[in-house]
Amino acid sequence: MEKACYKKHIITVLVENKPGALARIVELFTARGYNIESLNVGETEDKTLSRLTLVVCGDEKVIEQIVKQLRKLIDVVKVRDLTGKPCLDRELLIVRVNVDTKDKKDEAKRLSEIFGAQIVDVSHDEYTLELTGDEAQLDAFIELIKPLGIVEMARTGRVAMLRSLYGKTFD
Amino acid sequence: MPKMSGAEIFVRALELEGVKHIFGYPGGAVLDIYDKLKFSDIDHILVRHEQAAAMAADAYARVTGKVGVCLATSGPGATNLVTGLAVAHMDSIPVVAFTGQVPTYMIGNDAFQEVDTTGITRPISKYNFLVKKIDELADTIKKAFYLARSGRPGVVVVDLPKDVIREITEFFDKEYKNKKVEIRGYKPNLKGHIGQIKKAAKELVLSAKPVLYVGGGVIASEAWDEVRELSELLNIPVTTTLMALGAIPYDHPNYLYMLGMHGSYAANMAITECDLLFAVGARFDDRVTGKLEEFAPYATVVHIDVDPAEIGKNKKVDIPIVGDAKLVLRELIKEVKKLLKKYPETQEIRKKWLKATQRWKEMYPFYYEPSDRVIKPQYVVEKLSELTNGEAIITTEVGQNQMWAAQFYRLKKPRHFLSSGGLGAMGYGFPAAIGAQVAKPEATVIDIAGDGSIQMNIQELATAVQYNLPVKIAILNNGFLGMVRQWQGMFYDKNYSNVCLSVQPDFVKLAESYGAVGLRAEKPEEVEEVIKEALSIKDKPVVMDFICDREEDVLPFVPPGMALKDMVLPKYKKKKAIKKVV
């Protein structure tokens, strides 16, 4: 076991949508020995930019270095550490659970209703559930449906964005 | 409308960038470029191994301050460049490397001589490009040069697929020249925050025991005059890293020589005792700091660096200043002058401190036990220094030769000491000497080498002979991989494992077989004569084989993981007591 993780930080990165740009970021983490908890990449309102949301662990010194090293990359346009700032933070979960008895089917439906999950696919003895929420919600949901028997599971990793007030972001 | 092929655009763009020399080696993927290069004003230096092309380009950049350029073919050509590029990357030297690549439609097919060049060079470059369309070529070249030379300088690799350089498009000189490079994620901050500069100036003026710790950034930004001015203005002792040797003349009274693992007693003690550590363009490398916790333990730390990521990376910094060393120091000196009027009395305290450090310098200089029986390697370096008046361009290999060169060559000027500091790549010195000699045909260029490292790029004798480069190679021949032997001697009970180079070429005959001159000295009294003869030769390379004391150690020595103050000193003949001077 590695020693307990330090505080988690959510770092968002706006990066040029170019070949090699993502590789540089990922390689930076391996080359300098930083850990990535989760990594999400997607388009933004600007086609030439991608947004990465990284969840990383480390003490203050490590996080400061991560941010500086990311900023140093030529393709990186903006880096923000959202930790401790008012932000929206969501993750998507898709999970296939075993529901081979009526009790299990009821329990799956009940939990989905409570958490606001959707049943997006149904077969004879399996439901596929979809849930969006923050990390803690997803963790709790997974914990509760575990007894039913999880067949397969996928999480997107977190995406996050600063909240705004009167069109200004809290930065 | 001027339509040009990719290869023609390549050559023209380089001409417009002011490139005069390229170091390279041809191959299948770059045939079109070589076809056009032959008619260009750019001189191509044909090396004998691509690694030497990268190293020569690196040295060319170190000597001139301009971007060095190298060129290699795809696959093995590109992989052979790698060590040389890593040297430049670690030492922040502006180099643009062009590599051939298989045609775009074959990329990813494991084609003949295909390798993922951008993938391989990503961690050892500031940036790299794979040019996929002819329309991007000129822009990419422009960007490559801009990125290499601006901000914290570095390596940029441009990978050129064969079909792209064969395609045709429009190219206008004027358009190329006038184009401004805009990269939204890249805006180096050069000016430095005035508030921080004022803070640092005040700390300096009020300090009692400051030290200027000067690194390669001072060479990159050509801030040596400012460093000297600041030192003289406030009576501050100066120490330099290996990368900044020559930033202040060896004989300057305020200069405490190099610091670190093989640094001087005076420099290491000054660092240990100082109350203000003023770091400029230096990165607190482990070979400099020793045990980090005991590096300048009592000091307030000011750090000027153009790269924000260097600040606070290793050592906690109290006053960070992000900016170009020259610009920041200029502002700082202005502030210091103002403050000095307010606090003139502080000068006296610093004068005392400076004197104390100077006394350390006198008491414990770089030292070796002279001998009239066997050639001491340090003696060879001293003689080289004396006979060239400290004005030669010195390149070094890596290991003992490098440290003795740094300790005993009395450098007068910056950009005259070229050494692989960060990477520590053996085999650097000779190709570097070639690059330096190409850049400065009139200069005396000496590679201070070991018998191990010179053999890593010995094939370049052919290059030096071909271009009539009167490079001097001084082999401090001890028949050992000396630095490794020294460590095995000190930390592995003298268990000399695989460090004895018992089989060795006859370096004199080897030189002669290439058409160079070979000279040998076996006794101390022959050293001077050999050097004089070598210096008189102006049209071909000279190899000087100095048969040296086999088990001489480099001292002082800070054992790895130890504090600077715990350095092992040489055995001085006349022991003088270390007085507590401050």
Question: Is there a cis peptide before residue B556, judged by omega within 30 degrees of 0?
Answer: yes
User: How far off is chain A from B115, nearest CA to CA, in Å?
Assistant: 15
A68 neighbourhood in chain B, CB within 8 Å = 308-309
Token pair for residue B56? 């020569």
Q: Say how many C-beta atoms besides its own lie within 10 A of residue B227's C-beta.
A: 26
Common-topology check for domains B194-363 and B377-547:
yes
Contact with chain A for residue B123, Cβ under 8 A: yes
| Cβ B520 vs Cβ B477: under 8 Å | no
Alpha helices by DSSP H, chain A: 21-31, 60-72, 102-115, 135-145
Q: Kindly compute the dihedral angle of the four CA atoms of residues B277, B281, B287, B293, in this order, to the nearest 10 degrees.
A: 40
Q: What are the two backbone dihedrals, phi and then psi, of residue B145, each rounded to the nearest 5 degrees?
A: -65, -40
Superfamily of domain B3-178 in CATH is Thiamin diphosphate (ThDP)-binding fold, Pyr/PP domains (3.40.50.970)
State the Cα–Cα distance between residues A115 and B373, nearest whole angstrom: 89
Domain edges within chain B:
3-178, 194-363, 377-547
Which residue of chain B has the CA closest to A70? B309
The bridge status of strand B168-170 relative to strand B3-5 is antiparallel
Contacts of B513 (CB under 8 A, 6+ apart): none
- Upper half-sphere CA count for residue A55 (Cβ side, 13 Å): 18
Residue B577 has what pLDDT?
47
Contact with chain A for residue B98, Cβ under 8 A: no
Cβ distance A64 to B147 less than 8 Å, yes or no, reads no
Alpha helices by DSSP H, B313-449: 325-342, 346-363, 377-387, 400-408, 429-439
| Cβ B82 vs Cβ B62: under 8 Å | no
Q: CA-based diameter of chain A, in Å?
A: 57
Q: Which CATH number applies to B377-547: 3.40.50.2300, 3.10.20.30, 3.40.50.970, 3.40.50.300?
A: 3.40.50.970
DSSP for B316-336 reads --SEEEES-HHHHHHHHHHHH
Residue B521 β-bridge partners: B546
Q: What are the two backbone dihedrals, phi and then psi, of residue A54, each rounded to the nearest 5 degrees?
A: -110, 135
Residues of B classed as catalytic = 50, 112-113, 162, 483
Contact with chain B for residue A67, Cβ under 8 A: no
State the Cα–Cα distance between residues A3 and B548, nearest whole angstrom: 52
Number of H helices, E strands in chain A: 4, 11
State the Cα–Cα distance between residues A22 and A16, nearest whole angstrom: 9
Nearest to B191 by CA among B286, B331, B369, B317: B331
Which residue of chain A has the CA closest to B128? A20
Distances (CA, A) of B48 to B14, B431, B555: 23, 10, 36
| Domains of chain A and any CATH numbers | 8-81 (3.30.70.260), 88-159 (3.30.70.1150)
Residue B397 has what pLDDT?
97
Token pair for residue A45? 């309102």
Contact with chain B for residue A93, Cβ under 8 A: no
Helix (H) or strand (E) holding B224: helix B224-234
Q: Say how many C-beta atoms besides its own lie within 10 A of residue B319's C-beta.
A: 20
Contact with chain B for residue A7, Cβ under 8 A: no
B126 neighbourhood in chain A, CB within 8 Å = 74
DSSP for B248-272 reads S-TT-TTEEEE-STT--HHHHHHHH
State the Cα–Cα distance between residues B173 and B13, nearest whole angstrom: 8
State the Cα–Cα distance between residues B44 and A36, nearest whole angstrom: 46
* Amino acid letter, residue B464: A
Contact with chain A for residue B388, Cβ under 8 A: no
Contact with chain B for residue A35, Cβ under 8 A: no
Q: How much of chain B is helix, strand and coil, in % rounded to 5? A: 45, 15, 40
Helix (H) or strand (E) holding B534: helix B524-536
Contacts of B104 (CB under 8 A, 6+ apart): B132, B161, B163, B164
User: How far off is chain B from A80, nearest CA to CA, in Å?
Assistant: 14
Nearest to B23 by CA among B93, B89, B98: B98
State the Cα–Cα distance between residues B467 and B452, nearest whole angstrom: 25
Region at B235 (left for phi over 0; alpha for psi -120 to 50; beta for the rest):
left
Distances (CA, A) of A119 to A37, A94, A140, B393: 27, 10, 17, 75
Domain covering B194-363, topology: Rossmann fold (3.40.50)
Cβ distance B128 to A20 less than 8 Å, yes or no, reads yes
Instruction: Report chain A (171 residues): mean pLDDT per 10 consecutive residues.
Output: 69 94 93 91 95 93 94 96 91 97 96 97 96 95 97 95 80 64
Contacts of B240 (CB under 8 A, 6+ apart): B214, B215, B218, B247, B248, B255, B257, B258, B259
State the Cα–Cα distance between residues B554 and B489, nearest whole angstrom: 12
Q: How much of chain A is helix, strand and coil, in % rounded to 5? A: 30, 40, 30
Nearest to B88 by CA among B428, B402, B447: B428
Contacts of A165 (CB under 8 A, 6+ apart): none
Residue B396 has what pLDDT?
98
Region at A72 (left for phi over 0; alpha for psi -120 to 50; beta for the rest):
alpha
| Cβ B72 vs Cβ B20: under 8 Å | no
Residue B124 DSSP code? G
Give per-residue pLDDT as tens, B215-274.
999 999 999 999 999 999 999 999 999 999 999 999 999 999 999 999 999 999 999 999
Residue A84 has what pLDDT?
87
Residue A1 has what pLDDT?
42
Helix (H) or strand (E) holding B121: helix B117-121
Cβ distance A27 to B313 less than 8 Å, yes or no, reads no
Residue B212 has what pLDDT?
98
Q: Say how many C-beta atoms besides its own lie within 10 A of residue B460's C-beta.
A: 30
- Burial class for B206, CB neighbours closer than 10 Å (0-12, 13-18, 19+): middle
Residues of chain B with pLDDT under 50: 577-582
Cβ distance B309 to A15 less than 8 Å, yes or no, reads no
Contact with chain B for residue A84, Cβ under 8 A: no
In a 3-state reduction of DSSP, which class is residue A121? strand
Q: What are the two backbone dihedrals, phi and then psi, of residue A136, each rounded to the nearest 5 degrees?
A: -65, -40
State the Cα–Cα distance between residues B68 and B451, nearest whole angstrom: 28
State the Cα–Cα distance between residues B63 and B84, nearest whole angstrom: 16
State the Cα–Cα distance between residues B468 and B539, nearest whole angstrom: 5
B122 neighbourhood in chain A, CB within 8 Å = 20, 23-24, 27
Residue B580 has what pLDDT?
45
Number of H helices, E strands in chain B: 22, 20
Token pair for residue A20? 């090699």
In a 3-state reduction of DSSP, which class is residue B4? strand
A59 neighbourhood in chain B, CB within 8 Å = none
Q: Which member of A27, A64, A77 has the closest CB to residue B185?
A: A77
State the Cα–Cα distance between residues B253 and B124, nearest whole angstrom: 38
- Upper half-sphere CA count for residue B55 (Cβ side, 13 Å): 31
The bridge status of strand B95-101 relative to strand B68-72 is parallel
User: How far off is chain A from B560, nearest CA to CA, in Å?
Assistant: 22
